[in-house]
Structure 1
Amino acid sequence: MTLVIPFLALALAGGFVAYHRKSLLLWTVLSAIALAICWFTGVNQTAVIVAAAIVALISAIVLLPFLRKPLVSAPFMGFFRKVLPPLSQTEKIALETGSVGFEGELFTGDPDWNILLNYPKPQLTAEEQAFLDGPVEVLCKMVNDFEITHVHADLPPEMWEFIKKNKFFGMIIPKEYGGLGFSALAHHKVIQKLASISSVVSSTVGVPNSLGPGELLNHYGTKEQKDYYLPRLAVGEEVPCFGLTGPFAGSDATSIPDYGIVCRGMWNGEEVLGLKLTFDKRYITLAPVASLIGLAFRMYDPDHLLGDVEDIGITLALLPRDTDGVEIGRRHFPLNSTFQNGPIRGKDVFIPLSQIIGGPEKRGLGWNMLNECLAVGRSITLPSTGSGGAKAGAVVTGAYARIRKQFGLSVGRFEGVEEALARIGGKAYKISALSQATAAAVDRGDVPSVPSAIAKYHCTNMSREVITDVMDIIGGKGIILGPRNFAGRSWQASPIAITVEGANIMTRSLLIFGQGAILCHPWVLKEMKAAQDEDRAAGLREFDKSLFGHIRFGISNAVRSFWFGLTGSRIGAAPGDAYTRRYFRKLDRYSANLALMADISMMTLGGKLKFKEGLSGRLGDVLSHIYMTSAMLKRYHDEGAPVAEQPLLAWAFHDSVHKIEEALSAALRNFPIRPVGWLMWLLVFPLGRRAEAPGDRLGHRVASLLMSANPARDSLARGVFLTPGQNNPGGRIASYLEQAIAAEPVERKLLKALKTGAIKALDFPAQLDEAVAKGLLTEAERVQLQELRKIIIDTISVDDFDVHELRAASFYDLPGKQRPQQAA
């Protein structure tokens, strides 16, 4: 036994130092003290000497640079160069243009939660709040989504005029150019509210304020371009679109075949140096109504009119719609949502070099510019759209489930429906927190490449899951389209957000972890840059520093993962209050797990990791859910830790940590090098998996919150359009909830009388008359039940139409259109 004690002492000293991330020098000192105690207490001296030799060898190599560099760092640098994954041009630019915010802490294995909690609470200015309460509210009241999507296939002229007049297209344009100059948070709130009533309106407003000429000009335009175009864009005098995606280049935008050749040509009656463009774009939102087209293309200079470089690279330019050769195609028809979307084509279209965004000096920098703006757009437009739809769906469906009764019971009281309501409420809470967190990151000045990918993927995916559960609960109310339907169009439109600005499958399997593992890791990017440094001596110096920082980091995360797994994350300091402290401790564990698995995966798989999309996707899920839960905890504390919201927070948190452990488990069970996966399992799950999905009792509490009037439900409803009106069936249903709840005791009295046979009448009015006549109900209670019957009818009613109202009769009257032959 005494043979083991010295080595156990070294391990304990190492574990303490690694867990608390202290220096190797401290480990050397602690080990020396422990071995001295062993020596003088009669422990086997041979074992003590061997242990001391191990300490001396490790300390000498690591602490003495003249030994460390040639013996360890230089060979590792050579190995690192070989296993370094080759980066495509797309990936290189993505890494160069992104910035790292709090998500970087999640890759450390020991996040500093005070950084997150000390961020200022996101707040609108008085001007921004007035815009939400004024023009946005008015615009929402103007919406008749059924007419937009079924009758006109467009916004009515008065809505277009209102949007332009009130500068909805100029939210991101600075005030000096006539725009509103709003924060990213205000932008998020506007899109969220519009999306809660109409995805067509929200996308129409969202696109000019996302990736497009306005944002690109604001960041990169020349003074002349800004002075001319930004004021016109702000007031809708110019309607913008941006042509990026084409038939042969979707998610890999750097492969676009569209090209521009440097040449001389005529422009406004003068011969100037310019570009002859040939392009074919599709899926371009606002293209059918756009007057100003932003275009991405690859620029070539075969005659060397600008210099020695022939393939200049991706470049961005502005094309007025009336430019000779520009062809705006007919409209696409995106899943009945009918927002303006269509193709753009052109062959040998000439423009001067002055139309390049940023001027000729910005030629070839188009993908860098796009990558920054894509990150900002993904952070706001799509997550905010998902948030508006999910929050409105939760609030309205909760009211519907309380008002709608079957077998004499609110349908929301049935456990199957209750389970779906819990998912709706919990996911709406997640989406709301996540979308607000990424908007706040933009306002802090970040270019949140990784959080924007997380927000885009999970907000759109979860909102699709929410609307699916909504449709299941409301049944026939959801599948019969018409002015009374509040969910059908949202369900139809939900796959659209899944596909745009990077398809979700690609975003999950490639972008989230692929970028995060390099961009957010505290050491990997430094090692990559040092290994590629042409000055080998300087590169070795930096690599040496980063390598040993990385080694200490890896050992620490292995120790922390094992310790948290043994203790169930119940021990350790953590921020928060008595309720959330346990949540922060759990996130410490999963952060250590993520950092450990990222290191082992990159070390053992090297360049092959980028092709292991199953592993990358699962580790991306881990990162995503840690980031999401962080956003939820930040929001909870920003709101003053409201007790009423604890069931929503708890359901959302436990759902996420269950998914984290599922993803970790799947990644380990399918790890390409099986023995490595088995060893990592012992560190990550030494006592097996413990996280469970939210239970039925918690689900019942969440469902009950959605079906009753309470502060948590009010908080979830904040920021969506619920004003009751003729064209807002969801708002009307939500407004009925308190009235329906107040009438329930009287309704039960009537049902009891019917069940016992005290009332014999068969139709409802006669039943009320008989109940009043027999003294079973008062006159006031009769009126109360009559009002209840009216709101129930409005809640459950659906629309019907004459057949000619549903036919697209004019389609077959167009030249070249033939009706299909009937089967024999």
Structure 2
Amino acid sequence: MSILVPFLALLLGSAFAAYHRMRLATWAALNLSLLVACWLLGANATATLVAAAIVVLIAVPLLLPASRKALVSAPMMGFFRKVLPPLSQTERIALETGSVGFEGELFTGDPDWQKLLNYPKPQLTAEEQAFLDGPVEELCRMVNDWEITHVHADLPPQLWDFIKQNKFFGMIIPKQYGGLGFSALAHHKVIQKLASVSSVVSSTVGVPNSLGPGELLNHYGTQEQKDYYLPRLALGQEVPCFGLTGPFAGSDATSIPDYGIVCKGEWNGANVLGVKLTFDKRYITLAPIATLIGLAFRMYDPDGLIGDTKDIGITLALLPRETDGVEVGRRHFPLNSPFQNGPIRGREVFIPLSQLIGGADMAGKGWNMLNECLAVGRSITLPSTASGGAKAGAVVTGAYARIRKQFGLSVGRFEGVEEALARIGGKAYIISALSQATAAAVDRGDVPSVPSAIAKYHCTSMSREVISDVMDVIGGKGIILGPKNFAGRSWQAAPIAITVEGANIMTRSLLIFGQGAILCHPWVMKEMKAAQDPDRAAGLEAFDRSLFGHIGFGISNAVRSFWFGLTAARFGAAPGDAYTKRFFRKLDRYSANLALMADVSMLMLGGKLKFKESLSGRLGDVLSHIYMTSAMLKRYHDEGAPQAEQPLLAWAFHNSVHEIELALSAALRNFPIRPVGWLMWALIFPWGRRAEAPGDRLCRRVAALLMVPNAARDRLAKGVFLTPCENNPGGRIDSYLAKAVAAEPVERKFLKALKAKGIEALDFASQLDEAVREGVLSVEERAQLEELRSITLDTITVDDFDPAELRSAMYQAPSAPAQPREAA
């Protein structure tokens, strides 16, 4: 037995060193010390010497830079160049334009959670809050979504005027150019509130403040372009759109066939150097009413008029609508959510080089520009829209489920409905935290490529799941369209957000993990740059440092994954309070799992990994859910760790952990190299997959939070339009909740009297009269039940129409009598 003791000591010492990420010299010193102790305590001398020799044979060559480089680093550098995934120029630009925030910590296997918690709490300025409380609230009061979607198929003129006059199109434009100069957080809050009452209005406001001429000019425009266009955009004198997507290049923006040829032409009466454009774009939001068109195209200079490069690359330009040859097509009709959207075309449209965004100096740099602005746009507009709809849906549906009764019981008390309400509330909580986190990242100066893809994909996907559950809970109230329906249009519009700004399938399968594995990994990008360094000596030096950092990193994550799996991550230092420490420990485990899986996948599959979209998608799900839970925990601590919010946090956390283990399980079971998958399973799930979806008791607690006034419900509802008014049926239903809850004891007393046949009248009014006469109810209680009947009726009532009202306007005019055909 004593023969095994030195080797066991070596194994445990190595595992301890790996877990704590000690340096190689420290590892050697620790293990030699343990072996000396073994020898002194009587362990087998030969075994001790063999174990010591192993330590020396590993440590000495690797601690000497010259031998380490010659024996290991140089050969590995050659191998690395062979397995390095080939990067196109498009992919290289996408990686180089993004920045890394806290998401980079999630790839380390040992995130610095204190760094996350130390980020400043996102806060609005007094000016931004006043804008939300003033113009945004007033605009929401003006919105009649039924008239927008059914009657006008557009915003009415008074809404257009109000939006322009109050600079809603100028939120991101600096004050020096007449804009509001708002933070990304304020931008998020405005879109969130507008989306809670009308997705058409939120889209109309969101697009000019997202990817488009305003943002592009602000970042890249010449001073002359900024001075002229930005004040006009801020005041709504110019309505912008941006043409990127075309019939033959949807999500693959780098393959756009639209082109521009450098040549000379006439512009404002002068013969100038410019570009002759031919383009065909579709799905362009605001195009039908835009006065200023941003355009992406591939620029060519066949005659060498501006340089030696013939294919200059993707370039961005500004086209005034009245430019000769520009054709704005008829409107698209996106799933009964009629925001202004349509095609734009042009053939040999001439513009001068001064109309290129950033001027001639920025020709060919359009893909860099788009990558930075696309990341910011995905971080705000779509997540905020999803957040507004999901949060409003959660609180209004909770109120509806309490007020609406079947079989003498609130429908929200049935266990099947409780499950749906829990999903609605939990996912609304996740979406709210995630959308705020990405906005905060933008305000910190990040260009959050990976978080923006996570937020875009998961916020829009979860919001679609939320509205699906909402429709199930409210039943007939949801499927009968009309002014009283608060959910039907959201149901119809849900697939729109799934499709735009990069289709969700592509975002999950290619972008999230595909970018994250390289951009966020602490060593891979460094190794890639070192391997490709033309100075071989400098490259080898950098590669040597990165390689051995990466090797230690990989061993550490293997050990940490196995240890956390054995112990269910119950031990170890963690930040947070007594309630959240266990959550942070679990995330440590899944961070180590993710880092280990990323390393093994890249090592085993090399360049083939980017074609393994199912594997990439599953690992992207792991990364996404770790990031989302991080955002939730950050928000929870920013809010002062409110105990009332714990059921929402717990449901959302356990749902994400369950999804993480499902994704890891699927990735391992389907790993292309089966023996590697089996080995990884043993390291990651030594006891098997253990995480479970939220249980019934937790679901019941979350559902209960949505169905009674409380602080957690109020916090979830914060930032959405719930003012009870004629045009806001959801706000009215929400306002009834407290009265409905207060009236329930009186209602139970009344129903008990009816059931005991102490009241013989048949209609409701007569029953109340008799109950008062018999002393069952007081006059005040009668009034309370009458009010309950009134608010219940408004809650559940749906609309009906004269058949002529539902006919399209173009068919409502009397048709001309048919003319007799002449005889042949």
Is TM > 0.5 for Structure 1 vs Structure 2? yes
Residue in structure 2 matched with residue 430 of structure 1 by the alignment:
430
- Once the two structures are TM-superposed, the CA of residue 765 in structure 1 deviates from its matched residue by 0.6
- Once the two structures are TM-superposed, the CA of residue 814 in structure 1 deviates from its matched residue by 13
- Once the two structures are TM-superposed, the CA of residue 30 in structure 1 deviates from its matched residue by 1.2
- Once the two structures are TM-superposed, the CA of residue 45 in structure 1 deviates from its matched residue by 2.5
Structure 1 range deviating more: 728-737 or 8-17: 8-17
Distance 2:743 2:534 in 1: 79
AA of the residue aligned to 1:4: L
Residue in structure 2 matched with residue 414 of structure 1 by the alignment:
414
- Once the two structures are TM-superposed, the CA of residue 89 in structure 1 deviates from its matched residue by 2.4
Distance 2:346 2:432 in 1: 41
8 Å CA contact 1:435, 1:459 repeated in 2? yes
Residue in structure 1 matched with residue 352 of structure 2 by the alignment:
352
- Aligned residue for 2:726, secondary structure, equals coil
Q: Quick check: 1:173 aligned with 2:167?
A: no
AA of the residue aligned to 1:702: V
- Aligned residue for 2:272, secondary structure, equals strand
- Once the two structures are TM-superposed, the CA of residue 517 in structure 1 deviates from its matched residue by 0.3
AA of the residue aligned to 1:295: L
Which residues of 2 match residues 375-774 of structure 1 at below 5 A? Answer: 375-774=375-774
Distance 2:101 2:319 in 1: 36
Distance 1:517 1:622 in 2: 12
Which residues of 2 match residues 133-144 of structure 1 at below 5 A? Answer: 133-144=133-144
8 Å CA contact 2:602, 2:609 repeated in 1? yes
- Aligned residue for 1:537, secondary structure, equals helix
8 Å CA contact 1:60, 1:67 repeated in 2? no
Distance 2:213 2:304 in 1: 28
AA of the residue aligned to 2:253: A
AA of the residue aligned to 2:156: P
- Aligned residue for 2:556, secondary structure, equals helix
Residue in structure 1 matched with residue 150 of structure 2 by the alignment:
150
- Aligned residue for 1:304, secondary structure, equals coil
- Aligned residue for 2:236, secondary structure, equals coil
- Aligned residue for 1:117, secondary structure, equals helix
Structure 1 range deviating more: 411-420 or 31-40: 31-40
Distance 1:36 1:727 in 2: 81
AA of the residue aligned to 1:397: T
Residue in structure 2 matched with residue 371 of structure 1 by the alignment:
371
AA of the residue aligned to 2:303: D
- Aligned residue for 2:753, secondary structure, equals helix
Instruction: Give the 3 Å change call, closer, same or farther, for CA 450–681 of structure 1 in structure 2.
Output: same
- Once the two structures are TM-superposed, the CA of residue 362 in structure 1 deviates from its matched residue by 0.2
Residue in structure 2 matched with residue 233 of structure 1 by the alignment:
233
Residue in structure 1 matched with residue 4 of structure 2 by the alignment:
4
Structure 1 range deviating more: 254-263 or 802-811: 802-811
AA of the residue aligned to 2:606: G
Distance 1:207 1:64 in 2: 58
Q: Quick check: 1:308 aligned with 2:317?
A: no
Distance 1:753 1:747 in 2: 10
8 Å CA contact 2:433, 2:635 repeated in 1? yes
For structure 2, which runs of at least 5 residues remain unmatched after alignment?
Answer: 819-824
Structure 1 range deviating more: 56-65 or 665-674: 56-65
Q: Residue by residue, what CA displacement relative to the aligned partner does 1:309-331 show, whole Å, maximum 9, x if unpaired?
A: 00000000000000000000000
- Aligned residue for 2:533, secondary structure, equals coil
- Once the two structures are TM-superposed, the CA of residue 35 in structure 1 deviates from its matched residue by 1.7
8 Å CA contact 1:283, 1:332 repeated in 2? yes
- Once the two structures are TM-superposed, the CA of residue 57 in structure 1 deviates from its matched residue by 1.1
Residue in structure 1 matched with residue 821 of structure 2 by the alignment:
none
Distance 1:133 1:600 in 2: 52
Which residues of 2 match residues 242-321 of structure 1 at below 5 A? Answer: 242-321=242-321
8 Å CA contact 2:508, 2:620 repeated in 1? yes
- Once the two structures are TM-superposed, the CA of residue 91 in structure 1 deviates from its matched residue by 1.3
Q: Residue by residue, what CA displacement relative to the aligned partner does 1:160-211 show, whole Å, maximum 9, x if unpaired?
A: 0000000000000000000000000000000000000000000000000000
Distance 1:40 1:128 in 2: 71
- Once the two structures are TM-superposed, the CA of residue 252 in structure 1 deviates from its matched residue by 1.0
- Once the two structures are TM-superposed, the CA of residue 38 in structure 1 deviates from its matched residue by 2.6
Distance 2:88 2:280 in 1: 24
Distance 2:813 2:551 in 1: 72
Distance 2:570 2:505 in 1: 36
AA of the residue aligned to 2:274: G
Distance 1:687 1:459 in 2: 33
AA of the residue aligned to 2:27: W
8 Å CA contact 2:804, 2:812 repeated in 1? no
Residue in structure 2 matched with residue 821 of structure 1 by the alignment:
none
Distance 2:542 2:3 in 1: 40
Distance 2:30 2:368 in 1: 50
Residue in structure 2 matched with residue 34 of structure 1 by the alignment:
34
AA of the residue aligned to 1:52: A
Distance 1:535 1:486 in 2: 64
Q: Residue by residue, what CA displacement relative to the aligned partner does 1:718-766 show, whole Å, maximum 9, x if unpaired?
A: 0000000000000000000000011101111111111111111111111
- Once the two structures are TM-superposed, the CA of residue 61 in structure 1 deviates from its matched residue by 2.1
CA RMSD of aligned residues (A): 1.2
Distance 2:710 2:91 in 1: 48
AA of the residue aligned to 2:270: E
Q: Residue by residue, what CA displacement relative to the aligned partner does 1:578-602 show, whole Å, maximum 9, x if unpaired?
A: 0100000000000000000000000
Residue in structure 2 matched with residue 222 of structure 1 by the alignment:
222
- Aligned residue for 2:664, secondary structure, equals helix
- Aligned residue for 1:318, secondary structure, equals strand
Distance 2:358 2:780 in 1: 71
- Aligned residue for 2:309, secondary structure, equals coil
8 Å CA contact 2:434, 2:628 repeated in 1? yes
- Once the two structures are TM-superposed, the CA of residue 809 in structure 1 deviates from its matched residue by 4.6
Number of matched pairs? 816
Distance 2:2 2:600 in 1: 34
Distance 2:96 2:52 in 1: 46
Residue in structure 1 matched with residue 200 of structure 2 by the alignment:
200
If the length of structure 1 is used for normalisation, what is the TM-score?
0.98
Distance 2:775 2:269 in 1: 92
AA of the residue aligned to 1:11: L
- Once the two structures are TM-superposed, the CA of residue 44 in structure 1 deviates from its matched residue by 2.3
Residue in structure 2 matched with residue 15 of structure 1 by the alignment:
15
Distance 2:70 2:591 in 1: 33
Residue in structure 2 matched with residue 822 of structure 1 by the alignment:
none
For structure 1, which runs of at least 5 residues remain unmatched after alignment?
Answer: 819-824
Q: Quick check: 1:98 aligned with 2:91?
A: no
AA of the residue aligned to 2:691: A
- Aligned residue for 2:722, secondary structure, equals coil
Structure 1 range deviating more: 3-12 or 707-716: 3-12
AA of the residue aligned to 1:512: I
Identity %: 82
Moved segments of 4+, more than 2 Å: 37-46, 811-815
- Once the two structures are TM-superposed, the CA of residue 64 in structure 1 deviates from its matched residue by 0.8
- Aligned residue for 1:736, secondary structure, equals helix
Distance 2:773 2:624 in 1: 63
Distance 1:330 1:712 in 2: 46
Distance 1:213 1:457 in 2: 24
Distance 1:632 1:40 in 2: 52
